[in-house]
Amino acid sequence: MGSIDHKGTVPWGGDASYKVFRNVRSYGAVGDGVTDDTKAFKNAMSDGKRCAVKCNGSTVRNAIVYIPPGTYVISSTIVMPFGTQVIGDANARPTLKASKSFIGMGVLSTDEYTGGGTGTDGLDQQYFVNTANFYRQLRNLIIDVTQTRTSQKVACLHYQVAQATSTQNLLLIAGSSGYGMYAENGSGGQISDVEFQGGTVGLFGGSQQFIAQRLKFSGCTVGVQLIWDWGWAWKSIEMNNVSTGFKLVPDSGSGSSGGSTATSSNIGSASFLDSSFNNANTVVVVEPPSKTSGTGTTGLVLENIKLSGVTAAVVDNTGATILGVSSNIGQWTYGPIYKGSADTKDRDLVTATKRAKPQYEDRSMGDFVHLKDLGARGDGVTDDTAAFQSALYAAVGKILFIDAGSYILTLTVTIPSGSKLVGETWSQLAASGTCFSDALNPKVMLKVETSGQVGDVEMQDLLFTTVGPTTGAILVEWDIQASSPGAAGLWDCHARIGGATGTKLTPAECPPLTSGTAPGCNASSLTMHLTKTGSGHFENMWLWGSDHTIDDPNMNDANKTMLYGTASEHAVFYQFNFNKASRIFAGLIQTESPYYQPTPQPPAPFTSAVGVFAGDPTYKCTAGDEFSGCDESWAVFIRESMNIFIASAGLYSWFSTYAQTCIDQQLCQKALMLLEKNYSNVRINHLVTIGAKYMAVMDGKGIPAKDNLNVNMHPFWSQISVLDVSANRSLYDEFIWIDPKIWDMDDPKIWDMDVPKFTCSPPCKVKIPLWTKATSTAPITISEWWFEAVTLSGGNGAAVQRRQSFELFWPIPEKTSAWPAVVYTDPDGSSTIKAPTIPFPTPPPSIDPNAPPTPTGSWPKRQLEPYIGQYESPLVEQCAF
């Protein structure tokens, strides 16, 4: 980062001299561990009329503040203006060391209290409204506050943020009374790849919603204290030598808040996945739970948790034990549960792929290619379509550095497999022109490979947008199938439709109206389209605006798609549409309905475009139908889908024609989530809704928000800890398809096992893999032996398939009553459908040791051994044999 040339500009900012990239050494920082570098840091942050105090936000004053290796002494808080990325050297992280005389809340701060009374959100006045504090990054830093005075309780990082914010490769070292991260309110977002060492509290936080993953805590008195939230998902957390892992107890002195007026200060819900606790006295502490609606009981889900040296798993703050200790927690839930069907989850989704954003720190300077060196201008005026497409093909195998700027694209650009794209402070790729003007014939701006292609693509720090009326624009279409988990992905890439300088869709061109919509303000058809062949890893992605947003039609269930920290807001039809989709993990999704609806009601102003995309709503609007979606945008569609695991979801409806009096009555809209005609294994943990009468509609029946009310005060939000979606359709792949490799498990040359083994959670329907090591030659050659499906259970009972208990067994060969029909073409070209008339050969009744020998080869040497377990393994995709 420090050595690469920086050619970035902000063409729509009106200042040609503005510096996008600034190195703190250029502003006088020394980094010798002795010199006070505070002033140099502040000058680097503020240079160029940045957006800070008395500035609500800016899209034309983004900046990278780069910190080379060294130890930098800081004596007072360094405030990060809006749109700042603070990036240290990836190979030798710099250290920011607070001095003994340090004054301030945190060494780095994304927001500051002014002490000037009440802000526009009704809370203490700050530089920025905490729920609108967007576009921040911190990477590759060590922050040390161990030398500060204990009475100050200094934090390494004051991190009060909203969407489009991220952390990576941070080490926060707190003193005995300090904090690693102080994040008291906001609306995230993602916190990831941070190590916390020591301190009273590693992470002290409160937020509307967040996902936190790949965090490590060691030596903290309390690893995490949450003072309030609605939904927070914690994944891949490691805690070692802490007194308390998670303290989910309000702190009356925290100043916590979540909305625009006084809000509840309870901890609403927390989900813990794929995490471990070693030498922790207590894993989770909560307030005493209650079964009474509206009393603020914290909803909990613990899943795939490993414990060692733990005294208690879950206790309340009176000391009462709620969940005892074990070495492993498969799954445990507290709170409202809606059980739709006896589901088991795909192990690959529960232990989902983990991959941090690549930084290419092992690549040489010669591996980086500048887009602006390959003919693109990025000046917000020039048509860069041809130059960008040419650069993509020329840079395959290298890293294409998308210099900061606004690149106008007037036709579809294809991103080939092997591409690696790195933006600079969210470089803008903007659809513009007549190609994208027809909502009935939408066109793609960025097409990631072509349908059916397998490969790898990596994209980061980009912003997808439009200029002017582009009602037929699909910003991103994702066709590529990842060659391996995490090989194809987006990190810190966002879509922003309108609301920004240069887009010609600002309040000046598109003022808020209480009747109809302004002409020329219909901006795009679809923000992101994951096609039936596509799969990938999507992390920290905020999609804002347009009439559709995420659409997953006919997603190939052989390929996993991971959605970490994705949010979608203000689309007309829906925010997320999982249509005939499969094998998706979503680690916290967040939505907001359009503020102007129901004036006009959906599908206006895109009425003629209904049905253009698979899975669009039908909009059969009749009086009194509360489930038609004719009042406001759907937050989430899940239809004809299977194997979807949403770890947490915050679905909010804050307005009705710009008025907010509807929130506390839960009347801003009728329903937020539509679930219908689904197959098995669709689960939502911690469904949180605000402003709607019904949290969800499941196969024609509404789930009332009032039945699951968490608090009896603003914003009167509701929470369901686990919602297992009803499976009212049957599919062949509801079977568990066992990997044929189990037949090699009794071969000591391949496996250190003496019995073919597999694991599933009863009741489970199992397809036994075919056997290919025995051949019958008369009267017909048979080389693939199929077996009857079995249903395994803990007891006896009737079933369509063979049912048995968990014990060793010999599979029974499948019997076929007749030959399959074939199409026979006569010499004259006419075709007829025929089948052989001779009887189908009868397979042996068993393949046990008493079975007759085969002419060549042999039967399996040992019986199959099923094991009861939460996850199914080893598996292959449906219909693999």
The pLDDT tens digits of the residues spanning 411-469 come to 999 999 999 999 999 999 999 999 999 999 999 999 999 888 899 999 999 999 999 88
Q: Backbone phi, then psi, for 245, in 5-degree steps? A: -75, -65
Residue 433 · residue 410 · CB < 8 Å: yes
pLDDT at 778: 63
CA distance 528 to 566: 12
Q: Report CA-CA distances (Å) from 841 to 607, 801, 811.
A: 60, 22, 18
pLDDT at 92 over 70: yes
Exposure string over 109-139, b if 16+ CB within 10 A, otherwise e: bbbbbeeeeebebebbebbbbbbbbbbbbbb
**Segment (H or E) for 391:** helix 385-394
Q: Is residue 453 part of a domain?
A: no
pLDDT at 692 over 90: yes
The letter for the amino acid at 298 is T
CATH code, 163: 2.160.20.10
The letter for the amino acid at 35 is T
Dump strand ranges (E) for 110-261: 113-118, 124-126, 136-144, 155-158, 165-173, 179-183, 190-197, 201-218, 222-248
Q: Is residue 133 part of a domain?
A: yes
Q: Helices marked H in 433-476 — which ranges?
A: none
The letter for the amino acid at 450 is T
pTM of model > 0.95: no
Total H helices, total E strands in the chain: 3, 58
3-state secondary structure of 515: coil
The most confident of 287-291, 359-363, 494-498, by mean pLDDT: 359-363
3-state secondary structure of 705: helix
In tens, the pLDDT along 144-167 reads 999 999 999 999 999 999 999 999
Taking every pair of Cα atoms in the chain, the longest distance, rounded to a whole number of angstroms, is: 98
Q: Is residue 316 part of a domain?
A: no
Q: Which of 149, 168, 183 is a domain's end point?
A: 183
Residue span of the structural domain in which 147 resides: 1-6+21-116+126-183
Give the sign of the dihedral formed by CA 287, CA 291, CA 296, CA 299: positive
Q: Average of pLDDT values for 216-245?
A: 97
CA distance 614 to 629: 17
Q: Is residue 796 part of a domain?
A: yes
Q: How many domains does one find in the chain?
A: 2
Q: Is residue 394 part of a domain?
A: no
**Segment (H or E) for 584:** strand 582-592
% residues pLDDT > 70 (the chain): 90
3-state secondary structure of 402: strand
Q: Which of 47, 43, 48 is nearest to 15 (CA)?
A: 48
In tens, the pLDDT along 382-414 reads 999 999 999 999 999 999 999 999 999 999 999
pLDDT at 863 over 80: yes
CA distance 561 to 563: 7
Q: Is residue 659 part of a domain?
A: no
CA distance 568 to 576: 7
Q: Which of 770, 726, 804 is nearest to 876 (CA)?
A: 770
Cis omega (within 30 of 0) for bond into 820: no
- How far from the centroid of its chain's Cα atoms is residue 826's Cα? 56
In tens, the pLDDT along 708-743 reads 999 999 999 999 999 999 887 655 456 788 888 888
- pLDDT confidence band for 746 (50 / 70 / 90): low
Residue 631 · residue 694 · CB < 8 Å: no
- Which tokens is 245 given? 């892992």
pLDDT at 801 over 90: no
Q: Which of 183, 207, 228 is a domain's end point?
A: 183
Q: Is residue 304 part of a domain?
A: no
Q: Which of 598, 608, 548, 554 is nearest to 573 (CA)?
A: 548
The letter for the amino acid at 595 is Y
3-state secondary structure of 707: helix
Q: Backbone phi, then psi, for 393, in 5-degree steps? A: -70, -35
3-state secondary structure of 11: helix
- Which tokens is 817 given? 């009553």
Q: Which of 156, 183, 210 is a domain's end point?
A: 183
DSSP state of 242: E
pLDDT at 722: 95
Q: Is residue 310 part of a domain?
A: no
**Segment (H or E) for 39:** helix 38-46
Strands 718-724 and 682-690: antiparallel
